[in-house]
Amino acid sequence: MKSDRLPYSLLALGLALLLWGSYWGLFLAPAEAYMGDVQRIMYVHVPTAWNAMLALTFAFACALLSLFRGDPVWDARLEGALEVGVTLSALLCMQGAIWAKPTWGVWWDWDPRLTTTAVLVFAFGAILALRQFVDDPVKRATWSAVAAIIAYADVPIVYFSVKWWNSLHQTQSSPETVSRAFHWPLRINAFGMLFLMSGLISLRSRLALLRREEETAPPLPGRTVDRWGDARSLLMAGPAGVISGGWEFVWAAYGVTAVILTGYAVSVFARYRAQRRRREAVKR
Amino acid sequence: MSPLAAALRKDLLLQWRTRAQVVAVFAFGASALLLFSFAVGPNAGVLREHAAGFLWLGLLLSSTLTLAESFHAEAEHRALEGLLLLPASARSLYYAKALANALALAALGAGLVPVMVVLYDAATPRIPALLGIILLGSAGLSAPGTLYAAMTSQARARQTLLPLLLFPLVVPVLLAAVKATGLLIQGDPMGQVRSWTLLLVCFDVIHWSLCGLLFERVVED
């Protein structure tokens, strides 16, 4: 068993950077000229977007390696990257909806990026569900790798079809020119989120490896497997009620981010600890 | 007879022998079309406007029944393992099955068109173009659908898993097919049907080649 230090140091570093970047973005950075304070949501929203896509791209790479090498380690990484990627994408949709309400007047705008992200949540979330229902670890690894490759190849087609479909109805103009004053909190949060994501993927992959170890071990009396554990962690929390005004939306977006990320990290940690305890018990 | 032709003959024969199932799926699709109209009310103009969407949603919902059943015979008594022992590549088995499913779905779609015309007053003079769109859309549903059906036929909770995996993936098929069909029904002054058809063709080409490549991995032990 490798040392536990790496994921925890990544998580601590990520958390520290996120707190620093968010403090800067919330209290030190100037308000934006048109959107006012609501624009501060960008400091969590954009890093979440980058890292969600990065996690899913990593999942695609893991799927290829798992399929062609057949190494369980890559399958475990695929599971970790999928779960973290889906959680971040779901969080991204919530942040997007909270930001859309005060700026565009609607919670959900059929913007290609937003819609594609929602499709991604369901496409990759379904693979996590598939993993829950296949008992044979080898088949589970192959099938989820195949499904992940197909889902990833589908992303550009979904994006362009939605873009095309939407452009025939309305065009959404949102100039994405980011002023220099906004760069630093954005960068710090992007790296914070990157470290947090890496730490979570690493911890979650270790959990997957431990579970696989338990599955492939000879059966023991009184063994129970929490099959719904993964699905449960994806159904946590949601944004607060409908509020109009600037800061309320900012707090809602940061609150959702904090709740989802903390809740998810705690759930991964708790499942990891439980699995390790079970392993210790088996050893004894 | 090539392995592909032999496998296709087997799959079409299977479809023919389970034609009671085909009729039941058609009845399901037609009842879905009837129910959709209750969602928007009896306004003829609104119904006609949404006819294409309803047709494709009806076909999409029915397709999960057809696809989920398509590997039923192979999953029973481990017949798939027997098939894999034959001197035919897994790829030809996949393409035969996907082709048979695409034809079955296209026939189902073509059967639902008269229901749509009667219920929503959504006729179009361009029948061959409409059938072409239905064939392309069915091919788009069947390529990933057949691959996922092969997986889920061996998993627990397969009735839930297949639509869960398939629906997000075929969003482009649904968008393009609904748009193209809607333009055929309501008129196409800008000539946009061509672009949507092209999108369907792109989706089909990508998924038919990718799923054909990956199928071997899915069924090998």
Query: Residue A33 — pLDDT band, cuts 50, 70, 90?
Result: low
Chain B, residues 136-155, CB within 8 A of chain A, namely: 144, 147-148, 151-152, 154-155
Answer whether residue A228 is part of any domain.
Answer: no
| For residues A77-105, average pLDDT | 90
Answer whether residue A255 is part of any domain.
Answer: yes
Answer whether residue A123 is part of any domain.
Answer: yes
Chain A residues whose CB is inside 8 A of the B220 CB are 142
| For residues B167-175, average pLDDT | 93
Q: Is the pLDDT of residue B130 over 70?
A: yes
Its domain, for residue A99, covers 2-215+238-283
Task: Write out pLDDT tens, residues B43-81.
Answer: 888 888 889 999 999 999 999 988 888 887 787 777 777
Any B CB within 8 A of A130 CB: yes
The confidence score (pLDDT) of residue A112 equals 83
A205 CB-near residues (< 8 Å, 6+ apart): A73, A76, A77, A79, A80, A81
Answer whether residue A41 is part of any domain.
Answer: yes
Cβ–Cβ gap B172/A158 under 8 Å? yes
Higher per-residue confidence, A240 vs B124: B124
Answer whether residue A225 is part of any domain.
Answer: no
Report how many domains make up chain A: 1
Q: Is the pLDDT of residue A161 over 80?
A: yes
Answer whether residue A222 is part of any domain.
Answer: no
Answer whether residue A229 is part of any domain.
Answer: no
Contact status, residue A153 vs residue A103, Cβ threshold 8 Å: no
The b-or-e profile of B73-93 (16+ CB within 10 A means b, else e) is bbbeeeebeeebeeebebbbb
Answer whether residue A226 is part of any domain.
Answer: no
Q: Is the pLDDT of residue B110 over 90?
A: yes
Separation CA B204–CA B95 (nearest Å): 13
Q: Which two tokens stand for residue A216?
A: 């492939």
| For residues A53-77, average pLDDT | 92
Separation CA B207–CA A153 (nearest Å): 9
Cβ–Cβ gap B169/A151 under 8 Å? yes
Chain A residues whose CB is inside 8 A of the B165 CB are 123, 126-127, 130, 147
Across the interface, which of A149, A154, A165 has its CB nearest the CB of B214?
A149
Q: Which residues pair with A32 in a beta bridge?
A: A36
Separation CA B41–CA A162 (nearest Å): 28
Task: Write out pLDDT tens, residues B13-37.
Answer: 888 888 888 889 999 999 999 998 8
Written as one letter, the residue type at B151 is M
Q: Is the pLDDT of residue A2 over 50?
A: yes
